[in-house]
Amino acid sequence: MHTVSDRRGNITIENSIQDRLLEAAYNHTTGRILLRPFLSPLFSKAGGAVLRTGFSKILIAPFVRSHAIDMSEYEARDYHSYNDFFTRKIKAGARKIDRAEHVLISPCDGRLCVYPVSENSVVTIKHTPYTVGSLVRNQKLAGRYAGGYLWVFRLCVEDYHHYVYADSGKVSAQVQIPGVFHTVNPVANDNFPIYKENTREYALLKSEQFGTILQMEVGAMLVGKIRNRPGNRLVQRGEEKGNFAFGGSTVILITQRGKVCPDSDILSQSERGIETRVRMGEQVGKKQI
């Protein structure tokens, strides 16, 4: 069970069957023991293989109905498998990219919380302390983000699982960090430091407006692949960076001190432990003057 707000401040409590099952598993010793085989990369790869079969197409219609997905936003075509459906492309213009230079955009659809990074590069996410160094496994790089912000965009299974660059600039090559595949449901973070245990990838974007943004993708249970486009090139705000395969997952931005100010509604809700629903391309912060 977790609390979510829209951009107008309307609060809802989410407590799906999936949430209750995960709470039962992660909050009890026996459940955590039984979960261990499901966290391995082999399980996620096997699950991904099943969802790439033609037989898996029977799952598409029930999933669309149960999650009330508006398929008019997506390209109309026949899907060869469930994973083919899950990685579907959205229609041009279905997500408006804010082009104002002073605006930081959301790189994806999802539920956003923003956390301040301390002078020691420590950040506390849902009562779990992290160091930026443990997240990126690079202490020197972590020091560049002391005093900045860490932005966690949590994608649920019903969200669009493609993501874009948050600004224009020069992007580095991807850095891959192997790990396990916890769910990114908030209940898991109460028991495990999931963002430094899960498989993840990141790149550095030398942004035109906001300093150097670290943009990271975190895999999750049944997300067998993070599919990023090649780096080491110039990119444009709103240009696709990549996509996830099946499952919930997370995109993380880390911004430097004095470069970006999160929007007041998002910052206020984050301080209360409430996620804010955002959509790809919309404003989530502004250039700090």
Indicate which residues carry an active-site annotation.
109, 249
Nearest-angstrom CA–CA distance, 80 and 152: 32
Nearest-angstrom CA–CA distance, 30 and 255: 39
Place of tokens 């039962």: 24
Place of tokens 């936003």: 73
Rg of the chain (C-alpha set) = 18
- Per the DSSP assignment, residues forming a β-bridge with 214 are 204, 254
Please give the single-letter amino acid code of residue 181. F
Which of 155, 33, 35, 133 lies closest to 87, judged by CA?
Answer: 155
Which of 108, 89, 90 lies closest to 252, judged by CA?
Answer: 108
Nearest-angstrom CA–CA distance, 213 and 42: 32
First to last CA, the chain: 38
Chain Cα centroid distance, residue 145: 19
Please give the single-letter amino acid code of residue 158. E
Which of 207, 226, 204 lies closest to 217, judged by CA?
Answer: 226
Measured torsion, CA atoms of residues 59, 61, 65, 66, in degrees rounded to the nearest 10: 0
Nearest-angstrom CA–CA distance, 157 and 51: 14
